[in-house]
Amino acid sequence: MTVYMREMTWPEFAARKDDIIIIPVGSTEQHAQHLPLCTDAVIAERFAAALAKEVHGVVMPTLCYGYKSKPLSGGGPLFPGTIDLNGETVIRLAYDVLMELVRDGFHKILFMNAHFENEAFLVEAMDLVNRDTKGFATIVETNWWDPMPPDVIDRVFDEVPFPGWAFEHAAVTETSLMLYFAPELCHMDRLVDIKNAEPLPYFRYPLYKTDVPECGGLASAKSSSAERGKIIVDSVIPEVVKICKKEFAPKH
């Protein structure tokens, strides 16, 4: 039996009203020379599918376009192939999808986000839906990095130091996840080994080409491997299962 809503007929989906509906949220965004533009979308969808298998959930069609890529967390908008939605668009898109689910009686919904910049706008949509539906549904937003147990960092960064989450764009964790999930889309031969970008404690506009290394990555992806990707998935999924158990239990 498929976990993907898209492959279901409507009676099959209608039968799942009390199950957890998982909405993967990714982006269409440059991921350096070696990873494809769908990197965030693939990672979101595959984490969603892995979770769905554990909690008897349903995976909705992935939101493939996301909020604006920032230079120091996603490489920024100056690369062709980065397709950025405005904040209001992301809010409305997420709002409409949530409202449709709630109108049909679904009451356990989880956003599985793989593009950090989406977060504030997804949560705004959740807040608005919650108000407009008087809290009918329990709605959770999470991702694959926040629930990660702390020791996983050490296990994944056993060869190179962890550069901080902001720079994990097209770097060791994302590359490892893609090598695990979709090796056929990875071009490790094109990997450009770069010095990690320098963190900036502020945002500044206009953006400059020089804000981001020319290749598009923010930190070295050397030492990436499918095994390390598997370590991440295998350790994150149980944590998200715990979240589901806690939050989607009968209401307070």
Closer CB to a second copy, residue 41 or residue 197? 41
Closer CB to a second copy, residue 89 or residue 196? 89
Binding residues for a second copy restricted to 148-177, rule: CB under 8 A: 148
Helix (H, G, I), strand (E, B) or coil at 6: helix
List the structure tokens of 93.
Answer: 């898109």
To a second copy, the closest distance from the beta carbon of 233 in angstroms equals 16
* Residue 250 engages a second copy in binding (rule: CB under 8 A): no
Q: Is-catalytic flag, 40?
A: yes
Provide CB contacts within 8 A for 221, sequence distance 6+. 32, 34, 170, 171, 172, 174, 175, 191
In whole angstroms, how far apart are CA 111 and each of 41, 54, 100, 216?
13, 16, 15, 27
Distance CA 142, CA 119 (A): 9
- Of 120, 158, 234, 238, the residue at the interface with a second copy (CB under 8 A) is 120
* Residue 38 engages a second copy in binding (rule: CB under 8 A): yes
- Of 82, 176, 220, 224, the residue at the interface with a second copy (CB under 8 A) is 82
- Which residue has 């506009």 as its token pair? 205
- Which residue has 């199950």 as its token pair? 19
Q: Compute CA 146 distance to the chain's CA centroid, rounded to the nearest angstrom.
A: 11
In the stretch 190-229, what mask flags binding to a second copy with x, by CB under 8 A? x----------xxxxxx-x-x-----x-------------
To a second copy, the closest distance from the beta carbon of 223 in angstroms equals 20
Closer CB to a second copy, residue 3 or residue 91? 91
